[in-house]
A = this chain, B = another copy of it.
């Protein structure tokens, strides 16, 4: 079997291009993939030389422009139509790669992937799908993390279909439990969206676990949590903020006295593992589920390791044929 080919946007993310280059290097060395980097080739090559990053096995595709993170998402189809992200997405449609990874603007990635690559037939809207850690080393997939601030009930059912395929094939969860994020367990709870979505989910072939209150999410009460992109974005970012807050408070507690400082010394390695375990950004990126080919949105603050993990995720999505699985399920519904 030939190697999986991953296209990367060299300029997306706060720490790009340096960490993107380092991540590409690590991916080529460790993951047995071919990487194509879209970006300003002369300046990228210069940076590689300066930082002693070998370019062996990395293909460069030159682009002049970069879409700024504050640009309107639709600008990727207009004034920034030749930016590194747009060029990468076009290479994907031209079959110059099997998957695409970017840490750039989420909005631009959603618009660009939808307009340039297109959706899976039958899927109404793509969703940002993020895997979030739970107690006991588990995880759940949250959909939608913010691609669609407003949703219709049938979109939530499709999120369930896509999330189930992912959790089953990539994470190895048998018959994933799909929960509807809501403000109470009863089926009459929530707004019109939740009431309608509850009915449609109950009638779908999914393993519907009913309404899930937000308190149950980090406790692992479902494998796929479906919600509109507004609520999903709140969940995603509050999870991130709470993790940061708790690590800061823990640190404050450990540095407060002599006994606690001794304890901190004993915990050194374990604390690092703990922090990493909480940090969903280390899991890789968020696939834009519903797009006709694998597109991964890495976190805006991705470092080399996060870029590499996003490439790994892209590779597994290709190997496990997630998109074919979704296409099949949707065509049968």
Contact = CB atoms under 8 A, between A and B. Distances in A.
Interface stretch (A118-126, A159-167, A246-254): A246-254
A231 B230 contact: yes
A277 B249 contact: yes
A134 B245 contact: yes
B235 A257 contact: no
A274 B251 CA distance: 11
Interface string A253-281: 11011011011101100110110011000
| Residue among A246, A260, A273 facing the most chain B CB atoms (10 A cut-off) | A246
Contact of A183 (B230, B254, B264): B230
A253 B274 contact: yes
Task: Determine the interface band of chain A, counting residues with CB < 8 A from chain B.
Answer: 35 or more
| Residue among A215, A217, A240 facing the most chain B CB atoms (10 A cut-off) | A215
| Identical copies in the complex | 2
B233 A218 contact: no
A150 B218 contact: no
B277 A267 contact: no
B270 A266 contact: no
28 contacts: A135-B249, A146-B183, A149-B183, A149-B191, A181-B234, A183-B230, A214-B233, A214-B236, A215-B240, A215-B241, A215-B244, A218-B244, A218-B245, A219-B245, A230-B231, A231-B231, A234-B235, A242-B243, A242-B246, A246-B246, A253-B267, A253-B271, A254-B267, A259-B267, A259-B270, A260-B267, A262-B266, A266-B266
